[in-house]
């Protein structure tokens, strides 16, 4: 055991972003323990970089209390990230957004380690006759399907759910590059956002991400986007599910036959008029003269239209995962 010291450690956002902050009451409790007892346990590090217990570390520094380090054994950055994910997923106080993100992140990291291990650590050698052989005995040499199945079993969900969490985690990481504060608020539970909305936002341009995140943050939820698009498809389903009118005998030739394609064909014929209207307004409007309130109103409508289109295309592909 090393001597307790007032260590100065590195706080890398790449690892810190995977650690859910403690509740204010828990931070106050740790603070009181440090004041009274002077020491409340080790701080985990990889080299000189913190991998958790951030509140404890900064309170130690604030009160000038020497502390011990717990050295995490990792060969590379991916293993350090994986250790943080696994450790955090043992907590019982995670909200659903953070938990789902960490599960997806864990899957993505394990797949990356699998690919890295297969590409770099496979060792070539020769047998007694000088014939080349390959030694394959590596910790992470497993297929992505095996990784998904293993994690799915651990958390009691299906493989499709793990793959959906994986997409969500990649979307969160991408949006964070543009709107880090927004993602921090979302993962803390302050802003509600569905996985489907996160994935849709991640496919936008940087300017679109800024505006969309600002609009959702103002409402504290993406309910507006989701409710309007769901209501549209709900009404569409109700129309399609309505019982067919009973056709009197002898009038079959006179009655039109039910066409399951009619709603889709009608929508396909209507959309060009929307496009034409958008192009017309864009061509005749001086955007510099339009006030921000009007722009924000149209922006919100266009975002809802984009999400509705994404949902419709997913439905046509038969994707039920959202």
Q: Please report whether residue 254 resides in a domain.
A: no
Query: Which of these three, 38, 56, 76, is where a domain ends?
Result: 76
Q: How far is the C-alpha of 156 from the C-alpha of 154, rounded, in Å?
A: 6
- Residue 111: the pLDDT is 92
Token pair recorded at residue 18: 């995977």
- 8 A C-beta contact, residue 33 and residue 40: yes
pLDDT band at 281 (very low <50, low <70, confident <90, very high): confident
Whole-model pTM? 0.68
Q: Is the pLDDT of residue 235 over 70?
A: no
Q: Is the pLDDT of residue 72 over 50?
A: yes
Q: Is the pLDDT of residue 301 over 80?
A: no
Q: What is the pLDDT of residues 115-148, one digit of tens each?
A: 766 555 554 455 556 566 555 555 555 688 999 9
Query: Which of these three, 76, 99, 133, is where a domain ends?
Result: 76
Mean pLDDT of the chain: 83
Q: How far is the C-alpha of 206 from the C-alpha of 178, rounded, in Å?
A: 7
Q: Please report whether residue 270 resides in a domain.
A: yes
| Start-to-end C-alpha separation, the chain | 50
Q: Please report whether residue 70 resides in a domain.
A: yes
Please compute the mean of the pLDDT values over residues 63-78 and round it to a whole number.
95
Q: How far is the C-alpha of 258 from the C-alpha of 234, rounded, in Å?
A: 20
- 8 A C-beta contact, residue 206 and residue 117: no
Query: Which of these three, 76, 100, 124, is where a domain ends?
Result: 76
Please compute the mean of the pLDDT values over residues 151-166 and round it to a whole number.
96
- Residue 134: the pLDDT is 53
Q: Is the pLDDT of residue 188 over 60?
A: yes
* Strands (E) located in the chain: 43-46, 49-50, 69-71, 123-126, 132-135
Highest mean pLDDT among 253-262, 279-288, 305-314: 279-288
Lowest mean pLDDT segment, chosen from 205-219, 256-270, 276-290:
256-270
Token pair recorded at residue 71: 């050295």
Q: Please report whether residue 100 resides in a domain.
A: no
Q: Is the pLDDT of residue 282 over 60?
A: yes
Q: Please report whether residue 217 resides in a domain.
A: no
Q: Is the pLDDT of residue 232 over 50?
A: no
Domain containing residue 311: 224-242+262-317
Residue 178: Cβ within 10 Å count = 18
What is the SS3 assignment for 44? strand
Q: What is the pLDDT of residues 77-130, one digit of tens each?
A: 999 999 999 999 999 999 999 999 999 999 999 999 987 665 555 544 555 565
Q: Is the pLDDT of residue 32 over 90?
A: yes
- Residue 55: the pLDDT is 96
Domain count, the chain: 2
Query: Which of 212, 214, 242, 239 minimizes the C-alpha distance to 307?
Result: 212
Q: How far is the C-alpha of 190 from the C-alpha of 187, rounded, in Å?
A: 8
Q: Please report whether residue 104 resides in a domain.
A: no
Q: What angle do CA 165, 171, 174 make, to 5 degrees?
A: 145
DSSP-derived pairing of the beta strands 69-71 and 43-46: parallel
Q: Please report whether residue 93 resides in a domain.
A: no
- Residue 300: the pLDDT is 73
- Residue 247: the pLDDT is 46
Q: How far is the C-alpha of 85 from the C-alpha of 264, rounded, in Å?
A: 44
- Residue 83: the pLDDT is 98
User: What are phi and psi for residue 210, nearest 5 degrees?
Assistant: -55, -50
Stated as kind and residue range, the H or E segment containing 232 is: helix 223-241
Q: Please report whether residue 64 resides in a domain.
A: yes
């Amino acid at each position: 055991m090393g001597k307790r010291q007032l260590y100065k450690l590195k706080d890398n956002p790449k690892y810190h972003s995977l650690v859910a902050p403690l509740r204010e009451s828990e931070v106050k409790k740790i603070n009181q323990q440090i004041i009274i007892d002077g020491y409340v346990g080790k701080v985990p590090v990889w080299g000189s970089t913190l991998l958790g217990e951030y509140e404890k570390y900064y309170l130690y520094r604030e009160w000038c209390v020497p502390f011990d380090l717990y050295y995490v054994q990792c060969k590379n950055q991916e293993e350090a990230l994986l250790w943080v994910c696994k450790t955090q997923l043992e907590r019982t106080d995670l909200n659903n957004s953070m938990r789902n993100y960490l599960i997806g992140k864990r899957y993505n990291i394990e797949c990356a380690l699998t690919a890295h291990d297969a590409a770099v650590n496979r060792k070539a050698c020769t047998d007694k006759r000088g014939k080349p052989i390959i030694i394959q005995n590596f910790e992470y040499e497993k297929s992505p399907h095996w990784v998904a199945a293993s994690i799915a079993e651990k958390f009691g969900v299906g493989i499709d759910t793990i793959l959906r969490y994986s997409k969500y985690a990649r979307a969160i990481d991408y949006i964070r590059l543009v709107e880090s504060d927004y993602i921090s608020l979302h993962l803390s539970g302050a802003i509600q956002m569905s996985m489907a909305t996160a994935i849709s936002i991640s496919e936008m341009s940087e300017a679109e991400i800024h505006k969309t995140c600002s609009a959702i943050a103002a409402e504290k939820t993406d309910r507006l986007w989701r409710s309007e698009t769901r209501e549209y498809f709900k009404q569409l389903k109700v129309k399609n599910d309505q019982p067919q009118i009973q056709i009197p005998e002898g009038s079959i030739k006179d009655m039109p036959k039910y066409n399951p394609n009619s709603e889709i064909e009608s929508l396909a014929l209507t959309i060009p008029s929307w496009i034409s209207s958008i192009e017309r307004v864009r061509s005749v409007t001086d955007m510099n003269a339009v006030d921000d309130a009007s722009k924000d109103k149209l922006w919100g409508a266009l975002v809802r239209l984009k999400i509705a289109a994404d949902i419709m295309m997913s439905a046509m592909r038969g994707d039920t995962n959202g």
